[in-house]
Structure 1
């Protein structure tokens, strides 16, 4: 079997559990891979790889689409409930029946180490109606770029993600050296906290597949991956950031509800008590001017 960059494969030794795209075939003993739907990087010898045919790829894509649509429906359902609560609170507070109010949703700065994932994420932000500025760069460049991006974009929410992996042969799950990019993610979080120290003034999500969750939280992230060192879906950071963006700033983000709407769940994602960033206003004139 021969492989080319861009081919889809699975790893035989791992039970063909993850779909990868080939990123380098310079050495048949060490072919570099990245997850097609999971934020994971890996390598494997040619002998351990199985090329995915068109029928298998179609089946996989349909299954992933089903998961994404299920999460989207859950998110929209929760948003409707939040909006109904907001309308009730405003109706109780103002003498005008059914006051028309406008919303200022939290702005997201999304830094991603993968250009294709960034495109997929920004499309979902747009679908959910979340203002976003996307920036693609290598994970190791993020600590050097985050301060200037924060100054330029002035976001309410910062997402730091890309690819990661935990390699047990390089150390325990408490050793940063055992992770592909957790060190860079943690450094980026610390640089962001130098600029904006308060946990409620800038909400940070950091991490990717199998990332060092505890280290990222200690560095200053509000949300991070991966508590159980499992893989996370490419869109998981979007759902967390979007929920924060749509939660009123006087309310606390309900962690259990947020994680329920992600594809990965509590094994792959976690966080600390955090306030929302949505602000509402009255009267509604022309929200497009805001």
Structure 2
């Protein structure tokens, strides 16, 4: 087996599809480092437990999550609130055709190139204005402010890989997590730059991240309340709900979580004001 091969773990019922990203050797055997194709997980395995599969293969967990992704996208697009409505006044009778709007702008910083590409594709599919950068988790706190000054986003996503040390008993000790402390440092930097939860909306975390400490640092939304694996597109669906909710409304947290793939076990957060701004009239010179 080689780096880049697509594999499944036999002992887990071949439920999740992985890519081999590294191979470590000692005196007796090889250990393969694996990255989930759809799930934000890094794992390791011995060769005897691995089986190569085609790029088109989907394990049971993959199929369930992929089906959920398709359902959520259809639901979002079909149920999106009619945003072409304006308040009537005695002097102006607005028409739907002349109303326009601007959803919140998104800056997505991800520690993984493949996950970022999947997210940017989904943002485009959902008609969201998103700019993405691949930055290692440990470097996000030192670079995020400069990127915010350039992009001027309404919503910032900080994600990548994370995970707990095996047999962890203290779930609030950051030393027991792979990258939670880096997400917390980046969130803290953002809140020192802009302390308003309404002006700058922050999503932070990855699989099994220290949810409570990330929220305490200043995030509006975080993963993972039950320390479960989250889907790579979970941040996208959180952003969609916030970006397309009018600024005069508070986004119900239950509505935000309803459209995520992993739900309340994977994502949680605080009540947050929407970022959609309506305009009238629409320019006749813009399609």
Q: TM-score, normalised by structure 2?
A: 0.90
Partner of 2:207: 209
**3-state DSSP class of the match of 1:168?**
coil
Query: What displacement does 1:260 show?
Result: 1.3
In structure 1, C-alpha distance between the alignment counterparts of 2:267 and 2:55, rounded to whole Å: 32
In structure 1, C-alpha distance between the alignment counterparts of 2:242 and 2:166, rounded to whole Å: 33
Per-residue CA deviations over 1:197-245 (Å, capped at 9, x if unaligned) read 1111100000111111111100100001110111111111001011111
Match runs of 1:104-123 below 5 Å: 104-123=102-121
In structure 2, C-alpha distance between the alignment counterparts of 1:26 and 1:65, rounded to whole Å: 31
Partner of 1:142: 140
Q: Pick closer, same or farther for the CA change 1:288–1:122 going to 2, 3 Å.
A: farther
Partner of 1:83: 82
Q: TM-score, normalised by structure 1?
A: 0.89
- Please state if 1:230 is matched with 2:228: yes
Number of aligned residue pairs:
283
| RMSD of Structure 2 on Structure 1 (CA) | 2.3
Q: Pick closer, same or farther for the CA change 1:147–1:93 going to 2, 3 Å.
A: farther
2:99 pairs, out of 76, 98, 101, with 101
- Please state if 1:26 is matched with 2:24: yes
Partner of 1:263: 261
Partner of 1:124: 122
**3-state DSSP class of the match of 1:204?**
strand
Per-residue CA deviations over 1:65-119 (Å, capped at 9, x if unaligned) read 433211101111331xx226x62x5347874053521101110000001111111
Partner of 1:278: 276
Unaligned runs of 5+ in 2: none
Q: Pick closer, same or farther for the CA change 1:157–1:30 going to 2, 3 Å.
A: same
- Please state if 1:16 is matched with 2:17: no
Unaligned runs of 5+ in 1: none
Identify the structure with the greater helix proportion. 1
Query: Does the Cα contact within 8 Å between 1:9 and 1:19 map onto a contact in 2?
Result: yes
In structure 2, C-alpha distance between the alignment counterparts of 1:106 and 1:55, rounded to whole Å: 34
Query: Does the Cα contact within 8 Å between 2:247 and 2:275 map onto a contact in 1?
Result: yes
Query: What displacement does 1:61 show?
Result: 6.7
**3-state DSSP class of the match of 2:250?**
coil
Partner of 1:195: 193
